[in-house]
Structure 1
Amino acid sequence: MPEPLRAARREPPQAPDTARPPGTAPRSPAPRPRAGWSRWIAAVCAVYVAAQLLLVLPGSGLGWDETVYTSQVSGRIPAATFSAPRARGISFLAAPVAHFTDSPLALRLWMAALSGIGLYVALHLWRRVLPERVLALAGALFAGLWITLFYGPQVMPNLWSAFGALAAVGCFVRAVRDPRDRAALVGLAAGVTVVGLMRPPDAGWLALPLAAVALAVPRWRRPAVLAVLVAGVVLGCAEWVVEAYVRYGGLSERLHSSSAVEGGMGLHFAVDDQVRSLSGRALCRPCTVRWRHKDTSLWWFALPFLAVGGAAVVPRLRRSAVWLAGLTAVSMALPYLFTISYAAPRFLLPTYALLALPVAEFLWWAATRAELAAEGSRLRLRPVAVAVVAVGLCGHLAIQGGVLHTATRNNHRTTQEYRAVADGLHAHGVTAPCTLSGVSAVPISFYTGCTSRQLDGPDRSIDTAGLLARTRQQPVAYLVTGGGRPPAFARAWRSVPLPTPRGARTFRAYLPPAR
């Protein structure tokens, strides 16, 4: 049997801070959770929110996917077509603000604040399992990634899938160790439910290793834990499944449609795509770009070795928990590395959140040494190791900051393009209620207050006859870029150029004859 599972079998059911027999010294410092706030974790989360406000919010606007999620709960913007793979969890999270305003700044402030709370809760739930110093370092490592910062204030589900997974694994470990820990069962159900609401497939890949380990380790075979795990998956995915029967004709039909939107689910090698996307690309589809900025992916190649190192050096009382975090991280990465034919850095956020725990264990072990004394445990710093770790982390953060700047700059350019096109459409009389179709009609419709209706592609929601019928009821515009041409039915319509920022795509709108 693997060492982590043997360790799990030997673990006492109570939390790892149990008293040791008189006259003996513990093998390692055990975590000693205290009631109340986790000050170091709270400090990390506060810095995380502040960094978003300073580095991400100024000048940012809603991207394509964000406009889709936000429009579902907006009080002013018509709902965009909701394609089969999407889930509504993140829309529910944005609803308290999105229902009253479509201001990107208000949404950004709301989501940034929530992301800080989400990170705090996910880490705090681990305090009975790992020391607070390790958790604070893990939180800093995860929050310091450009991906985590960039998506913190965005209306996107992947970061919240990461928070839910991190909380669920921590609560799972607590629940299997101590049957009296009812709060852990609640946390486990809530964590898995959040993941299911945000990304239903992620909930399955999260539950799979947890259920397998619960069945494989005799001491962890607790029917209540397994029941709560299943209940979390059911609760989280219920809305998505019900909607499958209401809107798509059944679950199998929705899964088939989801696969088509994703480009055909199957055996695909997307590891290299993920590496190329780390230079600041929000989406790499198709991912045919050259791998130019290799320094931006150095941390990605080091991550598995650091995580394995942390799992190897972690004290025995914490070993099974850290190994389980790593196992779950691998499980949640598999579909995004080997079943889809493109990449987006945000897809692996749950994996990065979980792997931050063993990496933090390794870095803490590398920089300190534990000296055990009769009165307790003391930690001594290793000056050379501390210097190496500090220099490495500073270099890592500098690179992440550079990539974050690239990603935010791209977002600003796209936002300016969408807003300029929307202003041009308004100038030509395309005002709500109205309908847009064609290139980038989905996000631009959010900025114009129009409904988006596409004739083809994953957002197909209308046919030619339906679109022509709308021209008799409200303003309609068909958008093309560059030298593109509209469909045959719109070629006789009035063609007008639309203003865009320097260096952006050139847009033209085809408008039907005046009613």
Structure 2
Amino acid sequence: MMTIESPDTPSARSGAYPPARTRRISGRKAWPAAVAAAFVAAQLVLVRPGIGLGWDETVYVSQVSGHAPAAYFSAPRARGVSLLVAPIASWSSSTPLLRVYLSLLSGLALYLALRSWRGLLPTRVVALGGALFASLWVTLFYGPEAMPNYWVATGGLAAVGCFLRAQADRTPRGPVWGLAASAALMAWMRPTDAVWVTLPLMAALVVVRRWRHKWLLIALVAGLVAGAAEWVIEAYVSYGGLGSRLSDASRIQGELRWNNAIDDQLRSLSGRTLCRPCTGGMPHPVVFAWWFAVPVLALAGLPAAVRARRASLTVLPLACAATAAVPYLLFIGYAAPRFLLPAYALLAIPVADTLVLLVTRARGVWRPLTVTVVVVGLAAHLAVQGAVLWRLVDRTTASRQGWARTADALHRHGVRPPCVLTGNNGEAPHIPIAFYAGCASAQTGGADTNTTASALARAARRTPVAVLTTHGSRPPAYARTWRLVHLDGQVYAYLSPVARDAEAAAPGAGRQSPTTLPQGARTGVR
């Protein structure tokens, strides 16, 4: 049986951490809560609750929203996020309200994840680990977003903490139930990610004799099964079976096979939410220096952990972080920083452990020098994260405001609910614009195919249909006689006759100024 002594006991303090002269345990227990509260406040201030919904967010939210028809739900997606936002999205279309709700929930999730590590390491280590993870620009940006990766990250951090606490003392039921709930949360959000994150836990329960714990194994398996059950059932109902859904998911993600995506991830760290294809030069080394420092610092604390007989507290989160990162570093042909959030969360605790050890074990003249280096390094890290986040929020806000303007222009041209938008997402992102306009989205090709050209042509006879495109692009055959209008920026639309009639019948239509198109904009019309 593995035993892990409390970091506040004399025997534990005689290991890796020197005794403190004055210990205020009750106050330090509040540190994780303070970190979670600061995380919520930072989201509300820096990410702006009014920022519009992103592309993937509109897919998840539309499944439960009364604002727009449900967008096509492709094979890799799971419905955890949709159910998470349902308490707000099912009755309100207010994006600021949804952002505040998700910010509060993300703060609570971070607190519970840190609380699962209580008694395993000093509170200051756990709180610092939470602060390091929460201060990453990718964590701050995706905490209030309706996306699954942050929830897999906090679920993974909580799962490892509960696992270790249960191994330390096999009598309490809390950690066992916590492990089951954490596994279910991860599988609820992204079943495949949940499997990758928990592989080391499963292996430890099966291979390491002193870690074999019947109820832990049952809790872990039951949690994964409970969280993934809906996804598996849906696979047989809507995707032709589990194997077919996994195959479709692989195809949509560019075929999962050996592919070194490390350079893609580095390029995305400059604030690119999706790097597909991931072209262009590398950002300045200052932007991604932390990415290399994190695993080095996490591993640097391992010798001290071994000497203190608590190696599992470092090895297990490191192993789970590695398996969580494997598919996104080695098997996928593109990058998004959010993919690695689970790995960052799991690495944060060992990194914090190393930093605290560096400061507390330094003696003499080395003490002030070490403190200075650590403080300056953390300050520089925060400055870089803040700068990337600031630019990303500005750029994202402008992009999503453009989608809202396009939706307003469609309404002025008679494309109002019930309506349908289609097009080539490489030219104009009709899926999120359809959500903003309250329309259904239709796709006749690519990963999100959910209809046919003939079906769209039939629908256009009775409802407003718009084909979004860019200047000079040729329309599909069924829309070659439709009217071309300019909506916003580089976005144009071919409008079905029903939309034209709705525009003419709208109150004040005769007073609207005619749409001005650049010379040659109608060259694709037949």
TM superposition score normalised by structure 2: 0.89
Aligned match of 2:419: 434
Name the SS of the counterpart of 1:437 in structure 2: strand
Q: Mapping of 1:23-62 within 5 angstroms?
A: 26-29=14-17, 38-57=29-48, 59-62=50-53
Once the two structures are TM-superposed, the CA of residue 27 in structure 1 deviates from its matched residue by 2.6
Once the two structures are TM-superposed, the CA of residue 227 in structure 1 deviates from its matched residue by 1.3
Please say if 1:149 is aligned against 2:134. no
Q: Indicate conservation of the 8 Å contact 1:433/1:449, yes or no.
A: yes
For residues 315-363 of structure 1, the C-alpha deviation after alignment (integer angstroms, 9 at most, x for no partner) is 6243212211111100100000011100000000000000001100111
Aligned match of 1:322: 314
Once the two structures are TM-superposed, the CA of residue 472 in structure 1 deviates from its matched residue by 2.1
Once the two structures are TM-superposed, the CA of residue 29 in structure 1 deviates from its matched residue by 4.5
For residues 148-196 of structure 1, the C-alpha deviation after alignment (integer angstroms, 9 at most, x for no partner) is 0011110000000000000000001111221102100000001111110
1:38–1:453 distance in 2 versus 1, CA, 3 Å: farther
Aligned equivalents of 2:367 and 2:362: distance in 1? 11
Aligned equivalents of 1:482 and 1:320: distance in 2? 59
Once the two structures are TM-superposed, the CA of residue 44 in structure 1 deviates from its matched residue by 1.0
Q: Indicate conservation of the 8 Å contact 2:267/2:281, yes or no.
A: yes
Aligned equivalents of 2:3 and 2:35: distance in 1? 31
Aligned equivalents of 2:341 and 2:324: distance in 1? 9
Q: Mapping of 1:93-492 within 5 angstroms?
A: 93-314=84-305, 316-369=308-361, 382-438=367-423, 439-492=428-481
Q: Indicate conservation of the 8 Å contact 2:254/2:333, yes or no.
A: yes
Aligned equivalents of 1:34 and 1:384: distance in 2? 27
Comparing 172-181 with 447-456, which one deviates more in the overlay? 172-181
Aligned match of 2:492: 508
Name the SS of the counterpart of 1:69 in structure 2: helix
Aligned equivalents of 2:61 and 2:29: distance in 1? 33
Q: How many residues align?
A: 491
Once the two structures are TM-superposed, the CA of residue 87 in structure 1 deviates from its matched residue by 0.6
Once the two structures are TM-superposed, the CA of residue 38 in structure 1 deviates from its matched residue by 3.3
1:302–1:243 distance in 2 versus 1, CA, 3 Å: same
Once the two structures are TM-superposed, the CA of residue 310 in structure 1 deviates from its matched residue by 2.1
Structure 1: segments with no counterpart, 5+ residues: 1-8, 372-379, 501-505
Which amino acid in structure 1 is aligned with residue 393 of structure 2? T
Aligned equivalents of 1:63 and 1:462: distance in 2? 23
* Alpha-carbon RMSD: 2.3
Which amino acid in structure 1 is aligned with residue 171 of structure 2? R
Q: Mapping of 1:52-91 within 5 angstroms?
A: 52-57=43-48, 59-91=50-82
Comparing 132-141 with 52-61, which one deviates more in the overlay? 52-61
Aligned equivalents of 1:110 and 1:72: distance in 2? 18
Aligned equivalents of 2:4 and 2:56: distance in 1? 45
Name the SS of the counterpart of 1:179 in structure 2: coil
Aligned equivalents of 1:244 and 1:92: distance in 2? 18
1:393–1:75 distance in 2 versus 1, CA, 3 Å: same
TM superposition score normalised by structure 1: 0.91
Aligned equivalents of 2:53 and 2:200: distance in 1? 35
Structure 2: segments with no counterpart, 5+ residues: 502-526
Once the two structures are TM-superposed, the CA of residue 34 in structure 1 deviates from its matched residue by 7.1
Name the SS of the counterpart of 2:310 in structure 1: helix
Name the SS of the counterpart of 1:496 in structure 2: strand
Which amino acid in structure 2 is aligned with residue 390 of structure 1? V
Name the SS of the counterpart of 2:311 in structure 1: helix
Once the two structures are TM-superposed, the CA of residue 382 in structure 1 deviates from its matched residue by 2.3
Which amino acid in structure 2 is aligned with residue 334 of structure 1? V
Aligned equivalents of 1:412 and 1:25: distance in 2? 49
Aligned equivalents of 1:412 and 1:381: distance in 2? 46
Once the two structures are TM-superposed, the CA of residue 286 in structure 1 deviates from its matched residue by 0.7
1:119–1:13 distance in 2 versus 1, CA, 3 Å: closer
Which amino acid in structure 2 is aligned with residue 159 of structure 1? Y
Which amino acid in structure 1 is aligned with residue 361 of structure 2? R
Once the two structures are TM-superposed, the CA of residue 292 in structure 1 deviates from its matched residue by 3.1
1:34–1:211 distance in 2 versus 1, CA, 3 Å: farther
Q: Indicate conservation of the 8 Å contact 1:15/1:178, yes or no.
A: no
Q: Indicate conservation of the 8 Å contact 2:81/2:189, yes or no.
A: yes
1:370–1:125 distance in 2 versus 1, CA, 3 Å: farther
Aligned equivalents of 1:33 and 1:188: distance in 2? 29
Aligned match of 1:377: none
Aligned match of 1:493: 482
Which amino acid in structure 1 is aligned with residue 298 of structure 2? A
Aligned equivalents of 1:30 and 1:493: distance in 2? 77
Aligned match of 1:6: none
Q: Indicate conservation of the 8 Å contact 2:276/2:335, yes or no.
A: yes
Once the two structures are TM-superposed, the CA of residue 203 in structure 1 deviates from its matched residue by 1.1
Aligned match of 2:510: none
Name the SS of the counterpart of 1:510 in structure 2: strand
Q: Indicate conservation of the 8 Å contact 1:130/1:318, yes or no.
A: no
1:148–1:99 distance in 2 versus 1, CA, 3 Å: same
1:18–1:54 distance in 2 versus 1, CA, 3 Å: closer
Aligned equivalents of 1:343 and 1:42: distance in 2? 32
Q: Indicate conservation of the 8 Å contact 1:33/1:128, yes or no.
A: no
Q: Indicate conservation of the 8 Å contact 1:207/1:233, yes or no.
A: no
Comparing 117-126 with 54-63, which one deviates more in the overlay? 54-63
Once the two structures are TM-superposed, the CA of residue 440 in structure 1 deviates from its matched residue by 1.0
Q: Indicate conservation of the 8 Å contact 1:482/1:507, yes or no.
A: yes
Aligned equivalents of 1:398 and 1:217: distance in 2? 43
Once the two structures are TM-superposed, the CA of residue 118 in structure 1 deviates from its matched residue by 0.6
1:25–1:228 distance in 2 versus 1, CA, 3 Å: closer
Name the SS of the counterpart of 2:486 in structure 1: strand
Q: Indicate conservation of the 8 Å contact 2:5/2:120, yes or no.
A: no
Aligned equivalents of 2:456 and 2:440: distance in 1? 11
